[in-house]
Amino acid sequence: MALITTSEQEELRDVMQAFLRKYSAEADVRTQIDAEAGYDADAWRTAAEQIGMQALAIPEEYGGAGYTFDEIAVVLEEAGRSLFTGPVLPTVVLAPATLLFSQDRSACETYLPAIAEGSLIATVAVSEELSMWDESDITVTADAVDGRWTLNGTKRYVLSGADAGLIVVAARTGAGVSLFAVDNTTDGVTTTPLDVLDLTRRMATVELRDCPATLIGEDGQGWATLSQVFDRAVVALACEQVGGAAAVLDMTVEYLKVRQQFGRAIGSFQAIKHRCADMLVELESARSAASYASTAAAAGADDLSLAASIAKVYCAKAYYHIAAESIQMHGGIGFTWEHPAHLYFKRAKASEILFGSPSVHRERIAALIGMV
């Protein structure tokens, strides 16, 4: 989702669209959200084998394709457009970025090849009581006994926490916040799926009781790593929100063309035209913000944090408003469970607060530009 896309990126978009038409149509999404895992494991493996989706941003030395964040942005936009239920955000964005930024070569060699080939679902567990990525919110403790680390505490709202084979946990040691690799199947780990608004994106509570863990990176340097990952997570979510908003607007316009009232299509009414124009302006503003932010992430630009927060504010607001307008314009059918409008509305609302609400990011923007 760069400012100017390459022919390769457009080919990737075409491939993703074809894949998602086959595996993430509305009927597929409804089937998957009712399933125990919440996603289609066969589709996930197919994405790895035929597209190499999970390997895109992983360096070639670890079994990946060695592309940049711009390619990840294309994937996230198309995944958001179709409400793809696979664990793209935690496994393709969060976990690889955390491992790479930790500069722990051993951990990268252990986990990244499996992520790249699609055999390992991975996630990152940070938030606790505040439900935010905030250093002060991390109270899970890590203690070294006889050279082995054990974790105690509870992580909340962990993306794909119940399904991930690898959970990278932020915990507090005597040196500060550090990162640890936890095998989800080991003794001392209990995952509890959460009842959340957006059924297309599963979350879980992860309880750790004397849980064996392996240190990733340097002790006490975990927050420095997570700060870099956070910006990229926010940008990835913004790209996904743009894709969802675009799908909702397209769906709404098509409906307005065929719905008749007083002998004419309701899309021909001036008031409806004005509302659609406002929605389009919001979408394009959000797309511009997300495009700049993804370019900044790919380049490692100095203003990435600022660009990420600006994108989150614009994209969250645009997606939520467009989804809400869509339901209104669809009339009574838009409120029913049978119509996809409510699926996008719930995704928009849940995404609005994921990684911080717009108000939180406005405060961050103010701090970054020296207003506070």
Task: Report pLDDT digits (tens) over 47-102.
Answer: 999 999 999 989 999 999 999 999 999 999 999 999 999 999 999 999 999 999 99
In the predicted model, what is the mean pLDDT of residues 255-264?
78
Instruction: Indicate whether 176 pLDDT > 80.
Output: yes
CB burial readout 63-99, b (16+ within 10 A) else e: bbeebbbbbbbbbbbbbbbbbbbbbbbbbbbbbbbbb
Fold equal for 123-221 and 224-368: no
β-strand pairing of 166-173 with 122-125? parallel
Lowest mean pLDDT among 122-126, 313-317, 328-332: 328-332
Note the pLDDT of residue 267: 65
- CATH entry, 123-221, from 2.40.110.10, 3.40.50.720, 2.20.28.160, 3.20.20.70: 2.40.110.10
The 10s digit of each residue's pLDDT in 180-225 is 999 999 999 999 999 999 999 999 999 999 999 999 999 999 999 9
Inter-CA distances, 92 with 52, 71, 95, 221, Å: 11, 11, 7, 22
pTM for the whole thing?
0.94
- The structural domains of the chain, with segments of one domain joined by +, span 7-120, 123-221, 224-368
Lowest mean pLDDT among 20-34, 122-136, 153-167, 251-265: 251-265
Architecture of the CATH domain 224-368: Up-down Bundle (1.20)
7-120: which CATH topology?
Butyryl-Coa Dehydrogenase, subunit A; domain 1 (1.10.540)
Note the pLDDT of residue 2: 62
